[in-house]
Amino acid sequence: MLGIAPASGEQKPSTAPSSVAFSALFHSLQQKRLFSPRTNRHSRAMNPAIRAAQEVALHHGMTPDRCDILQDAHTVVVRLTDDLVARIVTDTTGPRSGTTWLQRETAIAAHLTRQGAPIIPLHPNLPPVAHLHQGYAMNFWTYVTALPTAPDPDIIGRTLHECHRALASLPEPLPTLAIVEESLTILEQAEVQQALTPAEIDLLSHHLRCSLQALGPLPHQALHGDAHMGNLLMTTRGLLWTDWEDAFSGPIEWDIASVIWNAQILEEDHDSVEKILTSYQQQGVEMDPEALQQCLIARAAVMSTWYPILYPQPNPDRQRKLQQRLEWLKERV
């Protein structure tokens, strides 16, 4: 979900960044990536979820020779061999419980892999499906080597368009504006009600409902759904996108708003934002400025709604960013 993604350490980019702010933002977001070159090499071989993944790998002729935990949240992500990574659903009660989203993510990744889209691919030696074993649902990915390099904003816009072009031929229908609809439900959860004031909840509900009304009639296509900077990774294979669990059908401006939001609003790095927008539109796509503005508002409302779920004990920096988003939204009522 939002903010839960793969990561590498902060180093000075080897290629010239468009701005110091953009480079710093990229490396900050990379601290929680799934497929990191730095892994925690503590053994979790007896963990039942990981053991289930090991057994599935063995069944398909892959022999696990390591147990590197890359993420331990609503999913456990573990590197099992030199190039095999398993993502296992362990959330049994939260927003990402169940297997529907994993099946959808796997189908999308399989389609994008076949289309040659710039994504972290599923592993070719296992069937491209959501596997179920010992009560655990999982899928399997190819491990990629991350580079300590901030991506060129021009490449971000171009590769996002390449993903959109491949997604346009996705045969499976996706839910419409799903993350916005889901966020309205999340607002009703106890932990959100306790963390936010009634006025803040009313503010977010207002923007979410208005966004559904404004974005619903626009042209829709399959989207990434959570296309922020934490869900792309510079690798030895180039810039790759990952984390398709929030994919839905909506206007392309949603993904564009997601990738530029922090740079435009929090960092005021307008040079990088302009390069992303220009490189996307250079692929022959027209953007609707009003739709983009509405998507920026909707994205801020979604991010703010999920904060108490993702960060139940936020540090001062996260608290500050939440308040910045809420204040920004108040100015747009």
- List, in order, residues 6 or more apart from 64 with CB less than 8 Å away: 54, 57, 58, 80, 81, 84
pLDDT on residue 247: 98
Answer whether 50's CB lies under 8 Å from 88's CB: yes
| pLDDT for 82 | 97
Q: Give me the pLDDT at residue 151, please.
A: 92
Could you state, in order of their start, the residue ranges of all structural domains in the chain? Answer: 29-142, 153-330
pLDDT band at 98 (very low <50, low <70, confident <90, very high): confident
CATH architecture of 29-142: 2-Layer Sandwich (3.30)
Question: Residue 4's pLDDT is what?
Answer: 27
The pLDDT confidence band at residue 93, using thresholds 50, 70 and 90, is confident
- Residue 171: strand, helix, or coil: coil
Burial label for 50, CB within 10 Å (0-12, 13-18, 19+), is buried
Please state, in angstroms and rounded to a whole number, the distance separating the CA atoms of residues 218 and 43.
49
Q: List phi, psi (to 5°) of 173.
A: -70, 145
Q: What is the pLDDT of residues 265-290, one digit of tens each?
A: 999 999 999 999 999 999 999 999 99
Report whether CATH 3.30.413.10 matches the domain 153-330. no
DSSP secondary structure letters along 28-43: HHGGG-SS-SS-B---
Nearest to 246 by CA among 156, 315, 299, 177: 177
199-257 pLDDT tens trace: 999 999 999 999 999 999 999 999 999 999 999 999 999 999 999 999 999 999 999 99
User: If pLDDT is split at 50, 70 and 90, which confidence band does 176 have?
Assistant: very high
Question: In this predicted model, what pLDDT tens digit does every residue of 10-24 receive, in sequence order?
Answer: 222 233 334 444 454
- What pLDDT is recorded for position 137? 94
pLDDT, position 74: 82
Of 42-51, 104-113, 305-314, minimum mean pLDDT range? 42-51
pLDDT surpasses 50 at 113: yes
CB-count burial class (<10 Å; 0-12, 13-18, 19+) for 43: exposed
In 3D space, the residue among 245, 10, 5 whose CA is nearest the CA of residue 104 turns out to be 245
Question: pLDDT over 70 for what percent of the chain?
Answer: 86
φ/ψ of 233, rounded to 5, equals: -145, 125
Task: Name the percent of the chain in helix, strand, coil, to the closest 5.
Answer: 45, 15, 40
pLDDT averaged over the chain? 88
Q: Which of 20-34, 76-90, 211-225, 295-309 has the lowest mean pLDDT?
A: 20-34
Q: For residues 327 and 333, what is the distance between their CA atoms, to the nearest angstrom?
A: 11
How far apart (Å, rounded) are the C-alpha atoms in residues 215 and 234?
32
Check: CB of residue 96 under 8 Å from CB of residue 89: yes
pLDDT at 34 > cutoff 80: no
What DSSP string runs through 243-263?
Answer: --TT-EEE-HHHHHHHHHHII
Give the percent of the chain with pLDDT over 90. Answer: 79
Q: How confident is the model at residue 129 (pLDDT cuts 50, 70, 90)?
A: very high
Strand ranges for 11-157 from DSSP E: 68-72, 75-79, 84-89, 131-133, 136-142
Taking the C-alpha atoms of residue 81 and residue 238, their distance in angstroms, rounded to an integer, is: 22
Segment 13-39 shows an average pLDDT of: 41
